[in-house]
Amino acid sequence: MLERRRPPCNNHCDRARLITSMSHGNRIRVGVLFGGRSGEHEISLRSALTVMSAMDPARYDVIPIGIGRDGRWHLEHDALRLLGQRAPRLAALEGGGPPVTLLPHPDSRALVSVPESNSTAVATPSGPAMPGPLDVVFPVLHGTYGEDGTVQGLLELTGIPYVGAGVLGSAVGMDKDTQKRLLRDARLPIGKYFALTRAEHHDDPALASRSRRF
């Protein structure tokens, strides 16, 4: 109900291409995103460890892409070992493998190598052990900059199919005020709630206390 439909061919053609790839015995190349800039960074690492450990290597070519707290993407070649060390301790990602990104157009669907943070070089499709075009992306991200429609928007621009809700569904799922308004307008029962913006709290800190009596 909340999701805008994509052009009819996109999902159908992408699904058909993946099924054909599997039927021909080819492994599906899956980019797994984990980490991220949100306060749930460490929880994402635990989730990614579970997801990637469960993926059949005979069927899936897993491309692990770690996102640091600074928002930089890194290709993590030894992700299971890395996550096995950090996830149980709830330790954040620090640095990582070669820095990579996705370009916002559907020409290649491949990761491109990007310069280190202190370099003036430009992004390039070549680089150390760059994988080929991604068939699908699995965002194992929690919280803002991950499941709020931002990453989904980038993936829409790249044209790469991805797991989970689309841009609108993800954004509404994170914005509880908008979500409740839509549910209310659809005549669905919702509990009482009080929405307080950061600006309103800044202008009147006592408003939050008064809202508890709502």
* pLDDT of res. 7: 43
* Interval 149-184: pLDDT, tens: 999 999 999 999 999 999 999 999 999 999 999 999
Q: Which domains does the chain carry?
A: 8-173 (3.40.50.20), 175-211 (no CATH)
Is residue 67 within 8 A of residue 34, CB to CB? The reply is: yes
What pLDDT is stored for residue 77 in this prediction?
84
- pLDDT given at position 5: 41
**For 67-80, how does the pLDDT look when each residue is reduced to its tens digit (9 = 90+)?**
999 999 999 988 88
Task: Return the pLDDT at 94.
Answer: 80
Query: Cα separations (Å) of 212 from 69, 94, 195, 208?
Result: 33, 40, 11, 7
How many beta carbons lie within 10 A of that of residue 75, not counting itself? Answer: 22
Intervals of the chain under pLDDT 70: 1-25, 117-129, 208, 210-214
Rounded to two decimals, the pTM is: 0.80
**pLDDT of amino acid 127:** 52
What does each C-alpha distance from 85 to 24, 92, 202 come to in angstroms?
36, 11, 40
For 12, left (φ over 0), alpha (ψ -120 to 50), or beta?
Answer: alpha
Distances (CA, A) of 126 to 12, 61, 69: 31, 19, 25
pLDDT of 24:
45
